[in-house]
Chains A and B, each alone.
Chain A
Amino acid sequence: MAAPLVELRGIAKTYGRGETAVHALKDTDLQVYPGQVVGLLGPSGSGKTTLLNLIGCIVEPTRGRLNLDGETVYDGRWLRSDLRRLRLEKIGFIFQFHNLLPFLTAEENVAVALDLAGVPGAEARRRARALLDYLEVGHRGATLPSRLSGGEAQRVAIARALANRPRIILADEPTAALDSGRAGMVMDLLRRLAIEQQAAILVVTHDETIFGRFDGTVTLRDGRVVSSG
């Protein structure tokens, strides 16, 4: 088997300190391999979002070691100074609420991620359009997010997450705002990506209708992995 794209060793996260400290995540080990779609399950407050934020280098771990795509990025401290660059190149985020930039059109929302990565303007636009077509929202390219339906907005957001062909995709409740038909489509899409681009995909969800579509699931309770398989 190939090397894991995401690897956590004894990662823990404590918010605050002293009396009010919250141990959101306790010594966690986790590995996700290329081509895998892993579901993160567990009740509210169990630490799912925290785990995603740690992998996304948005939140600093309290201890442990984090490897992404073969590179150790955290080992008791950050080993990379340009975490935003790392995110830009390697990680795609899909949010529960689509988080499109309200002042950019659908196409520009996708193009901006390419633009930030240094893709020239015309090329960025061409690729953005191709991605939107691929996600079947090409006809909405000139529309502002406030005029998109929930499903359209989520697909634009996915297009943006995929723009720089990240090898790691982190999705926090990507189907929460969608009906079950759309939810199924999004999952099919993620599945296809995992295979076509050999990406590692982590999906936080409460949505029982998609539980069966994962290659594996990790269940958290009170900051601990209680089952994985």
Chain B
Amino acid sequence: MNLALRDVRHNLGRFLLTCLGLSLLLGVVLSMIGIYRGLVDEALTLVRAPGADLWVVESGTRGPFAESSRIPGDTRDAVARLAGVAAAGALTFQSVEAAHRGRTLRLYVVGYEPGRPGEPKRLAAGRPITRSHYEMLADRRAGLEIGERVRLGRDSYEVVGLTEGIVASGGDPVVHLTLKDSQRLQFELDPPAARRELARGARPAGLDTVNAVVARMLPGVPAVGVEAEAARWKHLGALTQEDQEGLLLKSVVEKARRQIGLFTGILLAVSAVVIALILYTLTMDKVKAIATLKLIGAPDRTIVALIVQQALAMGIIGWSAGTLLILLAKDHFPRRLLLLPEDALMLGVAVLVLCVAASGLGVRLALKVDPATALGG
């Protein structure tokens, strides 16, 4: 006969309320882990989008994402001529805000050379950029439609195609322009500022500046060797794709991870305390029953099982309900929530361990109950 189940039935309200609270706590934990995974995933989409093996950037910088980097546009030719390089493309990266239909759009602009590495590989709708000016590919996340015109800087661009799932590490949707357009947007001064610079006697800044050059290697050629060669050039540094991903994760994600890790830890601790307290009070209420059980001959394992099974039931129900809750709610989060089955499982295991540990207090109390207290008053 399962005593735990029957006792739960007897205290159903309190038990379910505890499970509900626990499921909310665990739901929050899971959503934070999901947000973290989403963050990592989003941070990497941009750096993975070009499908590059090698990044050439300004020397001494960890550009173009973790730090700003500016190199001459003709670097691309030099990189393309390196032995082992299959193709190279110049890229620009820049955050902009655009006023569009009465709201502010935060966009991350990537300039690329059509036909070279850095061009979006897949379009969800529309067509690639075919004209050299004033056309734009926007990510669905920006909420723009094909045919819409968006004003960036001094020019307006027509959305001709849509990408899906390409966002910057901050979560801003990415739009792609041709390199030429993006260079004007980033480097061209407006006329008054240009006149002032000219009056001051400064050389007009070259428009042919890019933030990075990406290269794809020939099959079987490791990027590391070329990295060393590219780094020998003055003013240039090189990073392999792995370096670049590592840098990005470190600079963008590290802090978030520590923060989310801390919150997760705190919430799990709170869950443990809640379970421990509830189990303790449930056990307190049962002291007399436990004494009676011992008196009529129940072994300790029967009594420990009574408490630990309830703890496990709380954990399993709380975890399942929490997971379900997040599965149902995940599309309504402002940031992307990436729920990995292994994360949910890990949390489940952690919760079970936590439950067993939290039942320790109640178990200790139950084991200390003197069967003699069942007698008399």
Contact = CB atoms under 8 A, between A and B. Distances in A.
A93 to B, nearest CB: 6
B297 A95 contact: no
A115 B1 contact: yes
A88 to B, nearest CB: 3
Nearest to B302: A116
A102 B289 CA distance: 7
A30 B124 CA distance: 94
B299 interface: yes
A85 interface: yes
Interface in A111-144: 111-113, 115-117, 121, 124, 144
Interface residues of B, number: 24
Interface in A71-124: 84-89, 93, 95-97, 99-104, 108, 111-113, 115-117, 121, 124
A88 B9 CA distance: 26
Contacts of B3: 101, 103-104, 112
Contacts of B292: 99-101
Contacts of B298: 84, 88, 116
B273 interface: no
A58 interface: yes
B366 to A, nearest CB: 14
B375 A58 contact: yes
Given A103-B10, A108-B1, A97 B296 contact: no
**What's the interface size class on A, roughly?**
20 to 34
A85 B297 contact: yes
A4 B242 CA distance: 87
B293 interface: yes
Given A112-B3, A116-B296, A59 B372 contact: yes
A191 interface: no
B217 to A, nearest CB: 70
B295 to A, nearest CB: 6
Contacts of A95: 374-376
Q: Chain B interface secondary structure, helix, strand, loop or mixed?
A: helix
Contact of A99 (B1, B9, B374): B374
Interface in B327-377: 371-372, 374-377
Contact of A121 (B1, B296, B302, B376): B1
A49 interface: yes
A117 B297 CA distance: 8
A49 B375 contact: yes
Contacts of A121: 1
A16 B6 CA distance: 39
Nearest to A93: B295
A49 B375 CA distance: 8
Looking at B1, B11, B296, which has the most chain A CB atoms within 10 Å of its CB? B296
A86 B299 CA distance: 11
B9 A103 contact: yes
Contacts of A113: 296-297
A172 B10 contact: no
Contacts of B1: 108, 111-112, 115, 121, 124
A70 B288 CA distance: 32
Contact of B299 (A53, A59, A84, A112): A84
Contacts of B295: 56, 58, 87, 93, 99
B297 A116 contact: yes
B376 A103 contact: no
A103 B289 CA distance: 9
A160 interface: yes
Nearest to B7: A103
A93 B372 contact: no
A161 to B, nearest CB: 8
B372 A53 contact: yes
Contacts of B371: 58
Nearest to B11: A103
22 contacts: A49-B375, A53-B375, A84-B297, A85-B297, A86-B297, A87-B295, A93-B374, A95-B376, A101-B289, A101-B292, A102-B289, A103-B3, A103-B7, A103-B9, A103-B11, A104-B3, A108-B6, A111-B1, A115-B1, A117-B297, A144-B10, A160-B296
Given A93-B296, A112-B1, 15 more contacts: A58-B295, A84-B294, A85-B299, A86-B297, A97-B377, A101-B292, A101-B293, A103-B7, A108-B1, A108-B6, A113-B297, A115-B1, A116-B302, A160-B296, A172-B376
